Chains A and B, each alone.
Chain A
Amino acid sequence: MKKCLVALCVFASTFTAPALATESWDDLTMTTALHGLAAAPAAPGVRVAYIRSPRKPDAGAPSFIVNFVTAGWSQTGVPCINCVAGGATPNLGLPAPYNAAGAGTTMQYVLSLSINTASGTCTAAVTVAAGNKKLYSASDTLTGLSGGPGTIELFFSQAPISYTGPAIVAGKLTCNGMTGVVRAPVLFV
């Protein structure tokens, strides 16, 4: 039986979500998002940074944690590693994680993962959903994890879409039968 490590980020936003008679907009959106994560197609162009940590692996701790997922608009030069002016290394440069963007903007979704003992092959996915609409879905297979502590940053890009309104961005990592999921609200204006 698969273990389920759920790090589900809950949120209470001030969005005015569409009212639905039988299921809340949040529930419907999350259901759509979970389906999107489960069936996310492989996406080319995903950039992966695997930064090893000096801490020691701990067999008593979860084998990984999904830190967060966030949305920003695509910008030249980011994301990047060890690129922050005046910042001690290692460091991470991100597009500002506004979780809000103008419709028609090329988006960039960042999925941050911390590895403890996970090894071998893992699958990461990101999806964006609004109600029963799946707005984006992509996945990447992570190979060669050595079981050593570290952080992985995944960057997914999405071509502009015409949708406006509230949505949810969700991220997922599956390793050796364990799954972690996070989510956050996104507003397309």
Chain B
Amino acid sequence: MKKLLFALSALLIAGATPALAAPDSASWHMTDARFASAHLPIYRAITSASVLIPGFVTATPNQTGLPCIDCVNSSDPPNTLGLSIPDNYIASGVSTNYFFNFTALSYHGTCRVTISATTTAGTTLFSQQVPVSVQADTSNDVYVTGVANGFSGSAVLSGKAVCGKRSIAITAALYFL
């Protein structure tokens, strides 16, 4: 019978020092970068080589107290994620969080996480890189806040993590109104 290993209480929230990448557009203003990580309840000991799995990348309105881990009421066990309501339409002037989630199994070490938005023509609207310290068997959330203006149209939002020699990435459609 599978043994459920709960390591739920080790909520780690580390204020990461962002390594800002210069945006192509001066109209973007990045304000902050955050990293949160929570240990997973692994159902079976994983003995294989480390595995990195991208979760998703999305835009959400910037709201007090969000995003957060293990913060949902009435949830048992508390392996949860609290988010602002995702909305990949970005209205001009609205403070927005860009959120990227990935899972690390067995891997521990430093990862360089980059969240960026690029126009469909290839112009980088913003790109922010954050070094984070990842523990084994964790779900990891990185998010940045920013204020968009000066661009209207389609873009691609990207979340990428480079952990040692491994790299994972995931993208999503984005539209600036």
Instruction: Please list the residues of chain A having a beta carbon within 8 angstroms of any beta carbon in chain B.
Output: 5, 7, 9-15, 51, 53, 55-56, 58, 61-62, 65-70, 72, 75-78, 80, 83-88, 90-105, 112, 114, 116, 149, 151, 153, 180, 182, 184-187, 189
CB of A12 within 8 A of CB of B53, answer: no
Instruction: Please list the residues of chain B having a beta carbon within 8 angstroms of any beta carbon in chain A.
Output: 2, 38, 40, 42-44, 46, 50-58, 63-66, 68-69, 71-77, 79-89, 91, 94, 101, 103, 105, 139, 154, 166-175, 177
Cross-chain contact of A14 among B46, B58, B166 (Cβ < 8 A):
B166
Residues of the A chain whose Cβ atoms lie less than 8 Å from the Cβ of B88: 65, 67, 114
Residues of the A chain whose Cβ atoms lie less than 8 Å from the Cβ of B171: 9-10
Residues of the A chain whose Cβ atoms lie less than 8 Å from the Cβ of B80: 75, 77-78, 93-96
What is the number of contacts between chain A and chain B, taking CB atoms within 8 Å? 220
Q: Chain B at the A interface: mostly helix, strand, loop or mixed? A: strand
Residues of the B chain whose Cβ atoms lie less than 8 Å from the Cβ of A182: 172
CB of B66 within 8 A of CB of A105, answer: no
Q: How far is the CA of A141 from the CA of B148 in the complex (A)?
A: 34
Cross-chain contact of B91 among A55, A92, A99 (Cβ < 8 A):
A55
Cross-chain contact of B40 among A75, A76, A98, A186 (Cβ < 8 A):
A98
Residues of the B chain whose Cβ atoms lie less than 8 Å from the Cβ of A185: 53-54
Q: How far is the CA of A100 from the CA of B165 in the complex (A)?
A: 21
Q: How far is the CA of A67 from the CA of B59 in the complex (A)?
A: 8
